[in-house]
């Protein structure tokens, strides 16, 4: 099955779906944070399909695996992996993975955290697409990029549903090929 690169043309419909469905909650979970809730996008079948098709189409044929970041990134990665017929990696919060794991500490828009990747999941040099719901300060995705690199994989790029431009997360991602369906 092939997916057209809908990142420009019909990605408008994915962007329209996201724009019309996303909800914003001021002062959640802390004062001063505007929380962007994408659950209504995931809960709409047409919007979910448009979102997955847009991300797959944008990176079509350029990745052997998709890495989803816990927890909302898992929802995207599972669907993208199935649609693109590629492997799926789970990048988990600290302390949840057994065996040999790589660990990266990172800063959040609110607080700090730890992400981990289990070693030995893919052949060395595998091309990996990282996906998550929101690119905010970029700390989470930057940490995931370091995990992918340390594991010996090649980064294809980064796909997110929503980029919060005022936080300038992109500047923490070097020259990675970053695609956001919607930027606010």
- What is the nearest approach in angstroms of ligand AMP to the Cβ of residue 148? 15
Least Cα distance to 47 among 162, 138, 135, 158 occurs for 162
- What is the nearest approach in angstroms of ligand AMP to the Cβ of residue 161? 10
7/137 with CB nearer ligand AMP: 137
The answer to whether residues 2 and 9 touch, using CB atoms and an 8 Å cutoff, is: no
64/107 with CB nearer ligand AMP: 107
Is residue 163 part of the annotated active site? The answer reads no
Q: Indicate which residue of 49, 70, 109, 170 is catalytic.
A: 109
3-state secondary structure 17-76: HHHHHCEEEECCCCCCCEEEECHHHHCCHHHHHHHHHHHHHHHCCCCCEEEEECCHHHHH
- What is the nearest approach in angstroms of ligand AMP to the Cβ of residue 167? 7
Q: Which residues, other chains included, contact 163 with Cβ-Cβ below 8 Å and sequence gap of 6+?
A: 134, 135, 169, 170, 178, 180, 182, 183, 184
69/122 with CB nearer ligand AMP: 69
The C-alpha atoms of residue 95 and residue 48 are separated, in whole angstroms, by 30
Is residue 127 part of the annotated active site? The answer reads no
Q: What residue ranges bind ligand AMP (CB under 6 A)?
A: 33-36, 69, 72, 108-109, 132-140, 164, 169
60/184 with CB nearer ligand AMP: 184
- What is the nearest approach in angstroms of ligand AMP to the Cβ of residue 134? 4
Q: Indicate which residue of 49, 58, 62, 72 is catalytic.
A: 72
> Which residues are known catalytic residues?
72, 109
């Amino acid at each position: 099955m092939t997916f057209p690169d809908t990142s420009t043309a019909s990605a408008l419909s994915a962007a329209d779906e996201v724009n019309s469905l996303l909800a914003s909650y001021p002062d959640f979970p802390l004062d001063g944070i505007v929380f962007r809730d994408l659950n209504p996008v995931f809960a709409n079948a047409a919007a979910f399909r448009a979102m997955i098709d847009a991300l797959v189409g944008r990176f079509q044929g350029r990745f052997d695996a998709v890495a989803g970041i816990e927890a909302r990134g898992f929802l995207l990665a599972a669907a993208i992996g199935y649609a693109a017929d590629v492997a799926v990696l789970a990048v988990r919060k600290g302390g949840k993975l057994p065996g040999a794991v790589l660990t990266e500490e990172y800063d959040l828009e609110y607080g700090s955290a730890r992400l981990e990747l289990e070693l030995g999941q893919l052949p060395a040099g595998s091309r990996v697409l990282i996906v998550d719901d929101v690119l905010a300060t970029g700390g989470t995705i930057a940490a995931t990029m370091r995990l992918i690199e340390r594991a010996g994989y090649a980064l294809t790029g980064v796909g997110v549903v929503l980029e919060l431009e005022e936080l300038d997360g992109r500047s923490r991602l070097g020259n990675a090929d970053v695609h956001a369906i919607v930027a606010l």
